[in-house]
Amino acid sequence: MELNVLDEEYMYPGHVACPGCGAAIAMRFFLKALGDKMIIVLPACCWSVIAGPYPQSTLKVPVIHSAFETGGAVASGVRAALDVKGDTETTVVTWAGDGGTFDIGFQALSGAVERNEDFIYVCYDNEAYMNTGIQRSSSTPYGAWTTTTPGSEWKKMRKKNIVEALVAHRIPYAATANIAFPEDLVRKTKKAKAIKGSRFLHIYATCPTGWRIPSEISVKIARMAVQTNIFPLYEVEDGVKYTINYKPKEYPVREYFKLQGRFKHLTDQDLKHIQDMVDEDRELLLRKAGEHS
Amino acid sequence: MKRVLEGSQAVAEAVRLARVDVISAYPITPQTHIVEFLSEYCANGTMNARFLRVESEHSALATLIGAATTGVRTFTATSSQGLALMHELLHWSSGARVPIVMAEVNRALAPGWNIWTDQTDSLAQRDTGWIQLYCENGQEVIDTTIQAFRLGEWVNLPVMVVLDAFFLSHTYEPVDVPDQELVDRFLPPYAPKFQVDTEDPCAFGSLVTPNAYMEMRYNIAEAMEETLSRFQDVEDEYAAIFDRRYGSVEPVLCDDAEIVLVTSGTITSTSRQVIDDLRARGEKVGLLKIKLFRPFPVDIIRQVLKTAPKVAVIDRNISFGASGIFAQEVRAALCNLAGHPPVFGYIVGLGGRDVTADLLEDIYWRTKNNEAPEKESIWLGLQEV
Amino acid sequence: MAEKRESESVVPLLIPRSYMSTESNLTGSWRFLKPGYAEKTAPCSTACPAGEDIGQIEMLMTQGMFKEAWETILRENPFPAVCGRVCYHPCEGKCNRGEFDEAIAIHSIERFLADTASRNEFKPSIDKLPSKREKVAVVGAGPSGLAAAYFLTLLGYTCDVFESMPEAGGILRWGIPLYRLPVSVLRSEISRIEEMGVRIHTGKHISQDFIKEAISDYSAIFVGCGHSRTRRLNIPGEDIEGVENGFEFLRKIREGEKPSFDGLVAVIGGGNTAVDVARNIIRLGGKSLIVYRRRRQDMPAFDQEIQMAIEERVEIRELLAPAKVEFNGNEYTLTVQHMKVAGKDVDGRAAIEPEGDKTEEIKVQRIFKAIGEEAAEAWYNPPDKEENMLTLGNSVLVNSSRGAALIFGGDLTNKTKSVVHAVASGKEAAIALDIFFHEGFDAIESRLETCAVGDGPPLSMEVYMGGPRSQRKRHVVVYNEINTDYFQLIPRVTQPRLLIEERLKTFEEIDLKISANLAMREAERCFNCGLCNQCDNCYLFCPDLSVIRDNSSQGRHINYDYCKGCGLCVVECPRNAMVLEEEGQ
- Output the pLDDT for position C5: 59
Task: Tell me how far apart the alpha carbons of residues B302 and B343 are, in angstroms, rounded to a whole number.
Answer: 12
Which chains lie within 8 Å of chain B at 3 or more CB pairs, if any? A, C
* Of C386 and B262, the one with more pLDDT: B262
- C402: pLDDT strictly greater than 70: no
Residue A76 domain flag: yes
Question: Taking Cα atoms as reference points, which of B35, B170, C489 lies closest to residue A249?
Answer: C489
- Output the pLDDT for position A15: 97
Which three-class secondary structure state does DSSP give residue C484? helix
Which chains lie within 8 Å of chain A at 3 or more CB pairs, if any? B, C
Test mutation, C18, C19, C20, C25, chain B, max B CBs within 10 A: C18
CB contact under 8 A, A41 and B68: no
**CATH code assigned to C135-226+376-450:** 3.50.50.60
- A135: pLDDT strictly greater than 90: yes
CB contact under 8 A, B55 and A80: no
User: A133: pLDDT confidence band, cut at 50, 70 and 90?
Assistant: very high
C135-226+376-450 matches C229-373 in fold: yes
Contacting residues of B for C13, CB less than 8 Å apart: 97, 156, 193-194, 219
| Contact by Cβ (8 Å): B293, B126 | yes
Question: Taking Cα atoms as reference points, which of C422, C293, C451 lies closest to residue C369?
Answer: C293
**CATH code assigned to B2-242:** 3.40.50.970
Which three-class secondary structure state does DSSP give residue B223? helix
- Output the pLDDT for position C541: 96
B2-242 matches B250-379 in fold: yes
The set of residues, in sequence order, having a beta carbon less than 8 Å from that of A236 and lying 6+ positions away, is A163, A167, A171, A173, A174, A175, A242, A243
Mean pLDDT of A103-116: 97
Contacting residues of C for B193, CB less than 8 Å apart: 13
Per-residue pLDDT of chain B (385 residues; tens, 9 = 90+): 999 999 999 999 999 999 999 999 999 999 999 999 999 999 999 999 999 999 999 999 999 999 999 999 999 999 999 999 999 999 999 999 999 999 999 999 999 999 999 999 999 999 999 999 999 999 999 999 999 999 999 999 999 999 999 999 999 999 999 999 999 999 999 999 999 999 999 999 999 999 999 999 999 999 999 999 999 999 999 999 999 999 999 999 999 999 999 999 999 999 999 999 999 999 999 999 999 999 999 999 999 999 999 999 999 999 999 999 999 999 999 999 999 999 999 999 999 999 999 999 999 999 999 999 988 899 999 988 7
Q: Rounded to a whole number, what is the distance in Å from the CA of B92 to chain C's nearest CA? A: 12
- Class level of CATH domain C25-39+531-582: alpha beta
In our burial notation (b when 16+ CB lie closer than 10 A, e otherwise), range C102-127 reads bbbbbbbbbbbbbbbbbeeebebebe
CB-CB neighbours of C264 under 10 Å: 19
Task: Tell me how far apart the alpha carbons of residues B295 and C332 are, in angstroms, rounded to a whole number.
Answer: 126
- Report pTM: 0.90
- Output the pLDDT for position C350: 83
Domains of chain C, residue spans: 25-39+531-582, 43-125+475-524, 135-226+376-450, 229-373
User: C1: pLDDT confidence band, cut at 50, 70 and 90?
Assistant: very low
- Output the pLDDT for position C344: 86
Specify the DSSP class assigned to residue B202.
-
Residue A1 domain flag: no
Q: Rounded to a whole number, what is the distance in Å from the CA of B18 to chain C's nearest CA? A: 12
Name the strand (E) or helix (H) holding C374. Answer: strand C373-375
Residue A5 domain flag: no
CB contact under 8 A, C571 and A220: yes
- Output the pLDDT for position A195: 97
- Output the pLDDT for position A8: 87
B226 touches chain C (CB under 8 A): yes
- Identity at B218, one-letter amino acid code: Y
CB contact under 8 A, C537 and A3: yes
The set of residues, in sequence order, having a beta carbon less than 8 Å from that of C195 and lying 6+ positions away, is none
Question: Taking Cα atoms as reference points, which of B90, B109, B118, B123 lies closest to residue B294?
Answer: B123
ipTM, two decimals = 0.94
Q: What is the pLDDT of residues A165-198, one digit of tens each?
A: 999 999 999 999 999 999 999 999 999 999 999 9
- Output the pLDDT for position C89: 95
- Output the pLDDT for position B135: 97
Which three-class secondary structure state does DSSP give residue C191? helix
Residue A175 domain flag: yes
- Output the pLDDT for position C404: 76
CB-CB neighbours of C236 under 10 Å: 12
Q: What is the pLDDT of residues C489-526, one digit of tens each?
A: 999 999 999 999 999 989 999 999 999 999 999 999 99
Task: Tell me how far apart the alpha carbons of residues B116 and B93 are, in angstroms, rounded to a whole number.
Answer: 27
C-alpha distances (whole Å) from A59 to each of C18, C21, C306 are 10, 8, 66
- A236: pLDDT strictly greater than 90: yes
**Identity of the residue in C4, C11, C17 whose CB atom sits nearest the CB atom of B202:** C17
- Output the pLDDT for position A2: 44
Mean pLDDT of C572-580: 96
Q: Are strands C135-139 and C220-223 parallel, antiparallel or unpaired?
A: parallel
Domain that holds residue A78: 22-288
- Output the pLDDT for position C209: 87
User: A251: pLDDT confidence band, cut at 50, 70 and 90?
Assistant: confident
B382 touches chain A (CB under 8 A): no
- A250: pLDDT strictly greater than 90: no
Contacting residues of B for C10, CB less than 8 Å apart: 226
Q: Rounded to a whole number, what is the distance in Å from the CA of A286 to chain C's nearest CA? A: 24
- Output the pLDDT for position A5: 61
- Output the pLDDT for position C585: 59
Q: What is the pLDDT of residues C128-161, one digit of tens each?
A: 999 999 999 999 999 999 999 999 999 999 999 9
Burial status of residue C397 (CB atoms within 10 A of its CB: 0-12, 13-18, 19 or more): buried
Task: Tell me how far apart the alpha carbons of residues B53 and B227 are, in angstroms, rounded to a whole number.
Answer: 32
Task: Quote the percentage of chain A above a pLDDT of 70.
Answer: 98
* CATH number of A192's domain: 3.40.50.970
Contacting residues of B for C17, CB less than 8 Å apart: 194, 202-204
Name the strand (E) or helix (H) holding B273. Answer: helix B267-280
Q: What is the pLDDT of residues C80-138, one digit of tens each?
A: 999 999 999 999 999 999 999 999 999 999 999 999 999 999 999 988 999 999 999 99
- Class level of CATH domain B250-379: alpha beta
| Contact by Cβ (8 Å): A57, C19 | yes
Task: Tell me how far apart the alpha carbons of residues A177 and A162 are, in angstroms, rounded to a whole number.
Answer: 13
In our burial notation (b when 16+ CB lie closer than 10 A, e otherwise), range A273-288 reads ebbebbeebbeebbeb
B238-242, C212-216, C356-360: segment of lowest average pLDDT? C212-216
Domains of chain B, residue spans: 2-242, 250-379
- C4: pLDDT strictly greater than 80: no
Fold category of C229-373 in CATH: FAD/NAD(P)-binding domain (3.50.50)
Task: Tell me how far apart the alpha carbons of residues B285 and B264 are, in angstroms, rounded to a whole number.
Answer: 17
Q: Which of residues 9-28 of C touch A (CB under 8 A)?
A: 16-27
Question: Taking Cα atoms as reference points, which of B283, B263, B279, B280 lies closest to residue B271?
Answer: B263
Fold category of C43-125+475-524 in CATH: Fumarate Reductase Iron-sulfur Protein; Chain B, domain 2 (1.10.1060)
